Amino acid sequence: MTKKLISAAIVVVMSICLLGALAACSGGSQSENADEHTHTYGEWTTVQSPTCVTDGKREKVCTVCGKEQEETLAALGHLPQTAVIENEIVATCEENGRYDEVVYCERCNDELSREEKTVAALGHDLVHHAGKKATCTESGWREYDACTRCDYITYEEISAKGHIIVTDKAVPPTCTETGLTEGKHCSVCGKIFAVQEEVAALGHDMIHHEAQNPTCTEIGWNEYDECSRCDYTTYEEIPAMGHTEVIDKAVPPTCTETGLTEGKRCSVCGEVLVAQEEVAALGHDMIHHEEQNSTWTEIGWTD
Quote the CA–CA distance of 234 and 77 in Å, as a whole number: 130
Band of pLDDT at residue 77, cut at 50, 70 and 90: very high
Q: What pLDDT score does 288 carry?
A: 82
Q: What pLDDT score does 230 carry?
A: 92
pLDDT at 25 > cutoff 90: no
pLDDT at 301 > cutoff 80: no
Tell me the mean pLDDT in the region 88-99.
96
Quote the CA–CA distance of 233 and 75 in Å, as a whole number: 132
pLDDT at 138 > cutoff 60: yes
Query: Is 36 or 106 the better-scoring residue by pLDDT?
Result: 106
Q: Helix, strand, coil: what percent of the chain each, to 5?
A: 10, 35, 55
Tell me the mean pLDDT in the region 246-250.
91
Q: What is the mean pLDDT of the chain?
A: 87
pLDDT at 303 > cutoff 60: yes
Tell me the mean pLDDT in the region 107-130.
96
Q: What pLDDT score does 296 carry?
A: 84
Q: Is the Cβ–Cβ distance between 165 and 139 less than 8 Å?
A: no
Instruction: Identify the sign of the CA torsion 35, 38, 41, 46.
Output: positive
Could you tell me the residue ranges of all domains in the chain? 13-27+38-77, 84-119, 126-158, 165-199, 206-238, 245-279
Phi-psi region of 123 (alpha: psi -120 to 50; beta: other; left: phi over 0): left
First to last CA, the chain: 216
Tell me the mean pLDDT in the region 231-253.
92
pLDDT at 7 > cutoff 70: no
Quote the CA–CA distance of 246 and 277 in Å, as a whole number: 16
pLDDT at 214 > cutoff 50: yes
Q: What pLDDT score does 300 carry?
A: 76
Q: What pLDDT score does 29 carry?
A: 40
Which residues are bridge partners to 89 per DSSP? 98
pLDDT at 26 > cutoff 80: no
pTM over 0.75: no
DSSP string, 143-198: -EEEESSSS-B---EE------EEEE--B---SSS-EE--EEEETTT--EEE---E
Buried b (16+ CB within 10 A) or exposed e, 233-258: eeeeeeeebebeeeebeebebeeeee
* pLDDT tens-digit map of 249-299: 999 999 989 999 999 999 998 889 899 899 898 889 888 888 888 888 888
* pLDDT tens-digit map of 144-164: 999 999 999 999 999 999 999
Quote the CA–CA distance of 118 and 94 in Å, as a whole number: 14
Quote the CA–CA distance of 197 and 186 in Å, as a whole number: 17
Q: What pLDDT score does 36 carry?
A: 64
